[in-house]
A = this chain, B = another copy of it.
Amino acid sequence: MAEIKYEIQETIGSISQSPKGWSKELNLISWNGKAPKYDLREWAPEHEKMGKGVTLTVEELKELRNLLNGLEL
């Protein structure tokens, strides 16, 4: 089975926690030794397992920030 190597270089923050302890987090992650990317995804406690998510470039984060700042939440 193929293997994905990753290293969480920085935890920017958590945006929620599920009753089972999974946390939705924005992290800076290096995948397979490459330059790190921002990453929004769910994690089990202690980052033991990862859920689905999206990686985001700095440009995408800026666009996302613009979108969110224009929303009435």
Contact = CB atoms under 8 A, between A and B. Distances in A.
Contacts of A54: 24, 40-42, 52-54
A60 B16 contact: yes
Interface residues of A, number: 28
Copy number in the complex reads 2
Interface stretch (A1-9, A29-37, A63-71): A63-71
Contacts of A12: 67, 71
Contacts of A68: 61, 64-65, 68
Contacts of A59: 16
8 contacts: A12-B71, A15-B56, A24-B56, A40-B40, A52-B53, A58-B73, A61-B68, A65-B65
